[in-house]
Amino acid sequence: MNSFKHLLRRVVEVRIVRFLLFSIPGTAVSFPLYWLMTNFTMLGVVVASVTSNIVAQAINFFPQKLWTFQDRKLDGKTISFQAVQYFGIATFFFVAEPSMLYSFTVGWSWHPISAWVVVHLVTAPARFTLEGIIFKKFNGH
């Protein structure tokens, strides 16, 4: 039983590292987009957050599916169903994250970049868990 727990813990650790690693492309585009939108346009943190999150989610879908959770099913029906679930869950974050950002920046006068970092650190574990559920359904785990 101990060896099973150790193996399970190791699998989760590897997936967390992969999740963080394969979130880099979305973050590499999302963060500068958010920064540009909050610093050089008249758009507020809410619009900037929603826009940058949509871009990040679109970029991260396949890396998370294929490499983090190792779901290799590429038939159209599976991908379509997973994409609907993935972006359905992302919609929750499109509401939650901008709300948190608004509270931090307007309510508590945090700098928008500090608020962005904190919000994403807080929401990352939930994203990891929910994405794992979506991709495991079809991966036989």
pLDDT digits (tens, 9 = 90+) for 26-83: 889 999 999 999 889 888 888 998 899 889 988 999 888 888 888 888 888 888 989 9
pLDDT > 90 fraction of the chain, expressed in percent and rounded: 21
| Distance in angstroms (rounded) separating the CA atoms of residues 40 and 57 | 23
Instruction: Residue 134: name the closest of 93, 74, 67, 87 by CA.
Output: 87
What per-residue confidence (pLDDT) applies to 14? Answer: 80
Question: Domain locations in the chain?
Answer: 2-137
The model's pTM is: 0.72
Banded model confidence at residue 94, pLDDT cuts 50, 70, 90: confident
Residue 133 has pLDDT above 90, yes or no: no
Provide the residue type at 106 as one letter.
V
What per-residue confidence (pLDDT) applies to 104? Answer: 95
What per-residue confidence (pLDDT) applies to 100? Answer: 93
Q: Helix (H) and strand (E) counts for the chain? A: 5, 0
